[in-house]
Amino acid sequence: MSQKPPISTASGIPVADNQNSISAGPRGPLLLQDFHLIEKLQHFNRERIPERVVHAKGSGAYGTFTVTHDISGYTKAKLFSEVGKQTATFARFSTVGGERGSADTERDPRGFALRFYTEEGNWDLVGNNTPMFFIKDPIKFPDFVHTQKRDPQSNLKSANMMFDFWSKAPESLHQVTMLFSDRGTPDGFRHMDGFGSHTYSLINDRGERVYVKWHFKTRQGIKNLSAKEAGRLAGDDPDYAQRDLFGAIGKGDFPRWDVKLQVATEAQLAEWEARTGWNPFDLTKVWPHGDFPLKPVGVFELNRNPDNYHAEVEQAAFSPSNAVPGMGYSPDKMLQGRLFAYHDAALHRVGTNHQHLPVNAARCPFHNQQRDGAMAIHNGGAAPNYATLEAAGSNPVGLGHGEPTLALEGGAARYDGRGVEDDFTQAGNLFRVLTQQGRQNLFDNLAGPLSQVDADILQRQLGHFDKADPAYGAGVRAALSARNAM
């Protein structure tokens, strides 16, 4: 039987007694000289970092990504350089709106954040289990999230706040339809698909760019919870998804996802937009598979549980700005906002040098002039803390992406597409592919919160359903009537 190591202070000094404080006599006051007591209480008072504003409740694991199909014609990123190549990964799944103590089974999108520890730096793909989102402009994001949180007076969740926002932002209807369908309550994290959601870009060694959407298709099969079962689990086992993921990996039942891509050139997207009227960089829209078929890329597997939840899951900090050479962004406005917001949130929540923590650190050499601040684990040693300026014409490599120039349209202004852009057709398309039972579940799931909202909000939201499909609006009205008759 192995012997436990002796208790010590954080400085490594052995502690003689971890059960009794130093006091002035058996019943006397405690002494300030008991440094072990002071250090223990000080750390305890500070052992929480602020929880994430969104995606606060989550689970994570390590794994591998294996290339199964050659996409080197699209990208020069080295992690895709040959079939069979493996890259170490870390994944964090989460609910979006709830606090850290909330239930895993709440009706909510699920975060699907992935990190690939490549030889060229970390690539972070920060997505969800849905291919679309509620809004298309990041200036609305703080307001949207506030409506999903608690009323500032009652401190209660408010259906009125949620649907007041959604009914005035018809662009949200596509995601709302997904959220209140059966897929709004996935059965754990292993039985759901993942999506990069945003439009990203890939750049090959000839400097040619294509735009892409990432898809992760679960090999475990899609499974969802009924509203009744999700509610039961919220009370009986609020950590249901965490328990399921941790337990499956612990017994060797490693979850896997097939990694796939939709690919389009700028010319193809321009033709598609001219034909459909849909902006291909609008996050509330999807690219139909009939127009842009899925191409296989590889397999993503999770096969190792973290040793310490706080150090490796709670302190994990992802950012879509982490894109290695051969990868790039797009004019997606929501993506553009997140390129700033995710890293900035980690600077506040975890600390200035959060990228030095093992779960966040690159596993390849890195060099910069960033110095000092909290947690300066790698502070540069004796190396200069400034970059030597290069002479004009020296053609510095920069990020090394080699991305071609992005064509811009129009001048700098605030462009308002409300009332002009089509926010209803794709929501209607999603509704029409649901089974008859799936549609009824959607109606019933919506009727619950809609029965609690003000009359003007209700009528505005019902009007959106009607525009997506008359049967959609009629079904929700029937479910509301049935609920009111109970």
CA 349 to each of CA 46, 54, 187, 352, 379: distance values in angstroms, whole numbers, following the listed order: 13, 12, 30, 9, 20
pLDDT at 2: 63
Name the DSSP class of 106.
Answer: S
Most distant CA pair in the chain, distance: 86
Considering the candidates 18, 36, 43, 55, report the single residue annotated as catalytic: 55
Q: What is the pTM of this model?
A: 0.94
Considering the candidates 36, 122, 128, 343, report the single residue annotated as catalytic: 128
Q: E strand or H helix at 256, and its extent?
A: strand 256-264
Catalytic status, residue 55: yes
Rounded Cα distance between 314 and 49, Å, is 9
pLDDT at 408: 80
Name the DSSP class of 73.
Answer: T
Per-residue b/e over 385-423, b at no fewer than 16 CB within 10 Å?
eeeeeeeeeeeeeeeebbbeeeeeeeeeeeeeeeeebbb
- What single-letter amino acid sits at 45? N
Q: Which residues of the chain have pLDDT under 50?
A: 398
Q: What is the DSSP string of 409-473?
A: -S-SS----TTTS--SHHHHHHHHHS-HHHHHHHHHHHHHHHTTS-HHHHHHHHHHHHHH-HHHH
Write down the residue that tokens 């200069």 correspond to. Answer: 384
Question: Torsions phi, psi of 482, nearest 5?
Answer: -65, -40
Catalytic status, residue 354: no
Kindly compute the dihedral angle of the four CA atoms of residues 302, 308, 311, 317, in this order, to the nearest 10 degrees: 20
Closest to 375 in 3D by CA, of 346, 338, 345, 344: 346
